[in-house]
Structure 1
Amino acid sequence: MARITAGLATSHVPAIGAAIDLGKDGDTYWRPVFKGFEFSKDWIAEHKPDVVILVFNDHASAFSLDIIPTFAIGCADEFQPADEGWGPRPVPIVKGHPELAWHIVESAILDEFDLTIVNKMDVDHGLTVPLSLMYDKPDAWPCKVIPLAVNVLQFPPPTANRCYQLGKAIRKAVDSFDQDLKVMVWGTGGMSHQLQGPRAGLINSAFDAQFLDKISADPEALTRISHAEYVREAGSEGIEMIMWLVMRGALDKDVREVHRFYHVPASNTAVGHLILENP
């Protein structure tokens, strides 16, 4: 049977992708960011997931204000890197796992989660930057990827608790899939940052540290935080942190934290990263 072995969370700052693509990851400014992922690259090479369910938010690349799904799951064979205005990133095509994706769709919808089924979707930096941070610059991504897009751009986004419960529904689906697969769930986005308005540049390291502590030890406490509190404490784009709770909901109640990294700033953003293993 399929099994979820671990969860991973990371920021998906677009400038990180540009630094990788332009060979600036060794520059003085960027070196501390990439140093925090050295352990992670060794870890992922050792643990080798067959499939990654990658929770991210689309940045108006696949969806526009015409259609805004709350939760959308990619069920296609492959997903092209999106053109975000400067051409697609020079990264491999993302290969999907339609069989598992459709199994998750059926299981989750029957559990009353109304997932939007997407059979064609270009994937932007929200998905490709985490892959680059973990796998660097391969000729092909070494795992299949199921994209799971969450609306955190247009009000109202789903609640933190709804994201956490979706993670539980995904866990149930994966546990009942009849192929022998090692599956990981990655939550992306955040941490605290605001890109516009009077509070542009906001970073709240105290809130971020508390979030990192609780997502390992007491994730249900994070599900009780309101939208207003996430925005007030972590900035308008800090609401992305609720996507980490999809990952956490898919794991065991008690997890082993094997790596934690936090750094500010990276393009006016707080970068956070966690690796959690199921015992």
Structure 2
Amino acid sequence: MSQICGGIFTSHVPGIGKAIAQNLQDDPYWKPFFDGFKPVHQWLEAERPDVAVVFYNDHGLNFFLDKMPTFAIGAAPQYRHEDEGWGIAFARPYEGAPDLSWHIIEQVVAAEFDPVTCQSMAVDHAVAVPFELCWPGDAPFPVKLVPIAINTVQHPLPSPKRCYELGKAVGRAIESWGGNEKVVIFGTGGLSHQLEGERAGHINVDYDKFCLRNLAPDPEALLQHDTLDIVELAGSQGVEILNWIAARGALRGSVRELASNYHVPISNTAAATVLLENRDKVLA
């Protein structure tokens, strides 16, 4: 049976992609953030997952304000990164896992979720930047991709509880998959930031640290705030924490934190990286 080995939670700021493209990883401004990936690289080398299931939000590449699904799941044989105007274009393609994607889709529909299914899909910086951070270089990515997009842009947004329950349904689907793949879960985006309006540049360190402190041991603590509360606390883009909440829901075993890094600011964003190990409850 498939095994969910752990979760990687990280910011997906486009500026990180530009820093990678310009080889600025050791620049004093960027180094504290990039250093947070050293334990992630070591863990990935040891675990060698086969598939990455990525909870993220699309930034207008596939969906715009006139057509914005609450949840969308990719079921394509391959995905490519397309630049949305940030001046970064990563060439490496992403091999899909369509059989697993369809199994997840069927199982979450049976759990009374209604995702849009995408047999053709491009991915933006919300997927590309975390992949480049986790697997730097030019070699083909060692994992297949199942992308799951969550609406964090057009109101009404899904509630934190709904996203958490979606993640749990995805976790159950992966566990029931008949293959023998090792799966890593990603939650990308955040933490607190707002890019426009009177509160542009808003960062809430207290809320960020509340999320980081509770992500592994008590994820349901993050459900106490509704979506509008999160917008108030973390900023209009800080609501991307919904992706983290969904990803945490998919980790259904005995979860423990292996590494955590928090750095403020990166391009007006509170940037963070968390690595969680997920093990079967019987073996924990």
The two structures have a TM-score, normalised by structure 2, of 0.95
SS at match of 2:130: helix
SS at match of 2:201: coil
How much is the aligned-residue C-alpha RMSD, in angstroms? Answer: 1.2
The CA deviation at 1:184 is 1.2
Q: Counterpart of 1:46 in structure 2: which amino acid?
A: A
- Which residue of the partner structure matches residue 144 of structure 1? 144
Residues 77 and 123 (structure 1 numbering): CA distance in 2 closer, same or farther, change over 3 Å? same
2:51 paired with 1:51:
yes
User: 1:72 and 1:88 mapped to 2: Cα distance?
Assistant: 24
- Which residue of the partner structure matches residue 92 of structure 1? 92
Residues 112-137 of structure 1 deviation map (CA, whole Å, 9 limit, x = unaligned)? 01011001111000000011111112
SS at match of 1:80: strand
- Which residue of the partner structure matches residue 64 of structure 2? 64
Residues 139-188 of structure 1 deviation map (CA, whole Å, 9 limit, x = unaligned)? 21110011111110111111100110011101111111111010111111
* Paired positions, count: 279
The CA deviation at 1:190 is 0.4
Task: State whether residues 81 and 88 of structure 1, in contact with CA within 8 Å, keep that contact through their aligned partners in structure 2.
Answer: no
- Which residue of the partner structure matches residue 24 of structure 1? 24
2:164 paired with 1:164:
yes
- Which residue of the partner structure matches residue 134 of structure 2? 134
2:270 paired with 1:270:
yes
Q: Which runs of 5+ in 2 are unaligned?
A: 280-284
User: 1:41 and 1:203 mapped to 2: Cα distance?
Assistant: 28
Identical columns (%): 44
2:179 paired with 1:155:
no
- Which residue of the partner structure matches residue 216 of structure 2? 216
User: 1:51 and 1:253 mapped to 2: Cα distance?
Assistant: 18
User: 1:20 and 1:117 mapped to 2: Cα distance?
Assistant: 31
- Which residue of the partner structure matches residue 237 of structure 1? 237
User: 2:121 and 2:22 mapped to 1: Cα distance?
Assistant: 25
- Which residue of the partner structure matches residue 260 of structure 2? 260
- Which residue of the partner structure matches residue 282 of structure 2? none
SS at match of 1:100: helix
User: 1:134 and 1:8 mapped to 2: Cα distance?
Assistant: 9
Task: State whether residues 12 and 125 of structure 1, in contact with CA within 8 Å, keep that contact through their aligned partners in structure 2.
Answer: yes
Residues 207 and 53 (structure 1 numbering): CA distance in 2 closer, same or farther, change over 3 Å? same
User: 1:209 and 1:85 mapped to 2: Cα distance?
Assistant: 31
User: 1:258 and 1:219 mapped to 2: Cα distance?
Assistant: 16
Q: Counterpart of 2:186 in structure 1: which amino acid?
A: W
Task: State whether residues 74 and 147 of structure 2, in contact with CA within 8 Å, keep that contact through their aligned partners in structure 1.
Answer: yes
- Which residue of the partner structure matches residue 83 of structure 1? 83
Residues 87 and 262 (structure 1 numbering): CA distance in 2 closer, same or farther, change over 3 Å? closer
2:186 paired with 1:186:
yes
The CA deviation at 1:233 is 1.0
The CA deviation at 1:87 is 5.6
Which is worse superposed, 215-224 or 180-189?
Answer: 215-224
Task: State whether residues 17 and 88 of structure 2, in contact with CA within 8 Å, keep that contact through their aligned partners in structure 1.
Answer: no
The CA deviation at 1:243 is 0.9
- Which residue of the partner structure matches residue 109 of structure 1? 109
Residues 79-129 of structure 1 deviation map (CA, whole Å, 9 limit, x = unaligned)? 111121256612311111000000000111011010110011110000000
Q: Counterpart of 2:225 in structure 1: which amino acid?
A: I
Task: State whether residues 171 and 252 of structure 2, in contact with CA within 8 Å, keep that contact through their aligned partners in structure 1.
Answer: no
SS at match of 1:43: helix
Q: Which runs of 5+ in 1 are unaligned?
A: none
The CA deviation at 1:25 is 1.7
The two structures have a TM-score, normalised by structure 1, of 0.97
